[in-house]
Chains A and B, each alone.
Chain A
Amino acid sequence: MSARVAALAAGAIAIALVLAQDVYPATPLYHGWQYALALAIALVVVLAYANGARRGDDGVVGRRLIVAMLGAAVVAVAGLAAGLLGPDTAQVIGTPGTVTPVPALGAAAFFAPADADAIASGGAGVILRRHNAGEIVLGPPSRRVLGESLVYLEARPAAYVDVYDENGAHLTVTQPTNASFLSPVLLFHDRQRIGALDVPLDTFATPARHRIIRALYFSAHDLAQFDHAGAQLDSSRPGLILSASDDQGRSLGITLAPSGRGIVFAGLRIRATIGTYPALAIAAAPPTWALVAGIALFMGGCIWGVLRPRGRIARSRQQRAQGA
């Protein structure tokens, strides 16, 4: 393999790696030392070729490819700098209606209040309030680059739980095991493995009726697997598998609560509205300008390098004419 091919391959790989970091920022692979080492090796290969090309080692084409190498180097350095100077990958989970400090951004995140409809639609957003700076409103599809940080929303499973007594009177829902004690919105911080499935888990209580209820979140797809096993389940929408106990720890049974449909269970009427609520995701990201400029230089340099030099074209025409 010639030095030119190796350098072009290294440049392309570096760009692909950094682009992947920008497109899929939450993947842990990009925050390992192996990723940084790969980028650094690519950078060394690219710069070594550019240095040789500058001395004329690869002729006119090599000199032209210096532009492409410069572009690849810009992207690789941007990717390395984002990893070194940017924040750690983090996910901030906030209860609807609360404010959570985000030191990595020097900001506070206000998680929008959410009722059952907002959970069902998954339309709730997050507002970032920075000291001496404006507010940044993040909706579900949006993402913003703040310095070396990329911030965006990740939809997490959530359920809004309404509980009534046998007379239809609304009951207080608490979450004794969570920081958000007085929230009827389950955010499923934990997970539980059931056979091949790894499903989100949360717990809530109704102190007025001394019930503690564990809720396992099942997507419609997961429920369909149970359907195949012969169970008579509504697998067209997500549901919660609820298991209840009293405050003495005695089991009071297990049932399925399909989203939005009221059920009677353990002496309670429960309606769980299942959907999503956003978590604020923070990841290191290369600056957009560096990506755009670097890729443009790399592409431009490659195209320029492929074009035959004018002097050579002229000489070749002259030779053909003389031959004729």
Chain B
Amino acid sequence: MRRLLVIVVVVFLSGCYNAPDPGGAASGGPGALAGAPAQSFDVRRTDGRPDSLARYRGRVVLLNLWATWCPPCREEMPALERFARENAGKVVVLGVDQGEAAAVAAAYARERGVTFPILVDEQQQYGRTYEGIGLPTSVVVGRDGRIVKGIDGAMTIDQMRAAVAPALTR
């Protein structure tokens, strides 16, 4: 009887044994980043001056990842420019061109009358870190340097106002 009990226990323990799990990559997109510290990388502006997100710590920042080849980014750009002018002094709008040459981004910004700073992120460090699952991707960063909201896709100016409102009241 005792032997039988031992066998039953052994078989039960064997059945409980963990099976392997292949695991894999996980990405929640920019929307999953709320509350996380906003990572910063040293890059250059289109005019060649060094710049980074960290330089704007203490201010509310609307970080916009874009590229000249991206049709929704081009559609969003006028609204972004309007929003930047409307909120000058309250919100810093930072455009971050993903992967393109400074001259290409600068020519585009000049042609479209963009006045807010454009950072040139050739290595796409911001895009990787902010889990851009498409372009444009926007991230609202609070005064404390933490991400308030991540948004995938183009926004209207009303959506931009709504996105930064929680950060301005904190």
Contacts and interface: CB of A to CB of B under 8 A. Distances in A.
A284 interface: yes
Query: Looking at chain A, what size class is its interface with the partner chain?
Result: 35 or more
A180 interface: yes
Contacts of A115: 123
B70 interface: yes
Contact of A182 (B10, B122, B128): B128
B23 A182 contact: no
Contacts of B65: 182
A33 B25 contact: no
A98 B129 contact: yes
Given A33-B17, A93-B23, A183 B128 contact: yes
Interface in B24-80: 24-27, 36, 39, 41, 65, 67-70
B27 A179 contact: yes
Nearest to B133: A181
A184 B124 contact: yes
A189 B22 CA distance: 12
Interface stretch (B94-102, B110-118, B157-165): B94-102
A182 B21 CA distance: 27
Interface in A171-189: 171-173, 178-185, 187, 189
Interface stretch (A7-15, A36-44, A227-235, A298-306): A36-44
Interface stretch (A84-92, A120-128, A258-266, A308-316): A84-92
Contacts of B169: none
A201 interface: no
Contacts of B98: 172, 182
Nearest to A116: B123
A88 B18 contact: yes
A208 B10 contact: no
Given A88-B19, A89-B21, A100-B26, A33 B14 contact: yes
B67 A208 contact: yes
Given A40-B13, A40-B14, A84-B17, 11 more contacts: A88-B19, A92-B25, A93-B24, A94-B26, A95-B25, A96-B128, A170-B101, A171-B100, A179-B25, A179-B26, A183-B128
Interface of B: 6, 9-11, 13-27, 36, 39, 41, 65, 67-70, 98-101, 103-104, 122-125, 127-129, 131-135, 137
